[in-house]
Amino acid sequence: MLTDDQLASLDEAWTPARAAGVIGTASIDTLVEHTVWFARAVCSSFSAEFDEFQGCIVDVGTGAGLPGVILAALLPYAELRLLDASERRLDHARRASRALGVADRVDIVHGRGDELAHDIGWRGIHDVAVARLLGDPAETVEQLAPLVRPGGVIVIAAAESATDQWDALPVAELPTSAVSWSNSPVGRFALVDVLAPVPPPFPRRERKRRQAPLF
C-alpha cells in the first residue's frame, strides 16, 4: 500500500491533471483503492503476491498515469511501460511517477498502441497489458493482445454494461481465452489469457476495426 507521504505527494503531483480534467474528480484514496484491486487481478493470474510479481506491464492509454503509475508503486519488482497518444497527458504521468519514487521502473512513451504493436520492440513481449478507458471490448482486445507474450494476460477495468460483449470471447481470429472475471468492491476486472503469438495482421488499422469489429 502507499504511505501517507506518497498519497500526499501524488495528490500534489496530480493537482494540474485534475484542473485539466484528465483524471476526473475521484479522490486520490479512491484512485489508489481501485488500483489495489487492479493489482490483485494482475497478480492472481500469476499466483503471486504484490512483492513477488516481477513481470513487465504495459498500460495502454494511460493518460496521466492510471493505473500504471500506482501499479508501479504497489508492485515493487514490476517494470511498467506507460503509453499514450497525448504528450500533454504524459507530462502528468511523469510528474506522478517522480512523486511516487518509481520513475526508475516506469518507461513513459508517447505513441499509439495499435501502431507500436507492429514494432519488434513492443510486440509479444509484455507479461501483462492493462487499460482503464481504452474502448469497447473488441477494440481493447484487438489492440492489447498483440502486445502480450504467449502465456501472458490482458487485465481490463470493465464496465458492467459491457459484460455480455466480454463474454463473447474467444473469437477465431485471435489466440485468446474466454474471459474470466475478478470481482471487487470497486468494480469488475476482465482477464483474458493470450495463448499464442497473435497473427501479423492484428491489430488492424483503426478504420478497419471500427467497420468490422471482431465481436
Q: What is the mean pLDDT of the chain?
A: 96
What pLDDT is recorded for position 133?
A: 77
Whether the pLDDT of residue 127 is over 80: the answer is: yes
What pLDDT is recorded for position 117?
A: 97
Global pTM reads: 0.96
What pLDDT is recorded for position 203?
A: 98
What pLDDT is recorded for position 134?
A: 86
What pLDDT is recorded for position 170?
A: 97
pLDDT in tens, 173-197: 999 999 999 999 999 999 999 999 9
In order of their start, the domains of the chain are 4-211 (3.40.50.150)
Whether the pLDDT of residue 74 is over 80: the answer is: yes
Top pLDDT among 1 and 48 is at 48
What pLDDT is recorded for position 164?
A: 95
What pLDDT is recorded for position 1?
A: 84
DSSP per-residue string spanning the chain: ---HHHHHHHHHHTHHHHHTTSS-S--HHHHHHHHHHHHHHHHHTTT--TTT---EEEEET-TTTTTHHHHHHHSTT-EEEEEES-HHHHHHHHHHHHHTT-GGGEEEEES-HHHHTTSTTTTT-EEEEEESSS-SHHHHHHHHGGGEEEEEEEEEEE-GGGHHHHTT---TTS-BPPPEEEEETTEEEEEEEB-SPPPTTPSPPHHHHHHS---
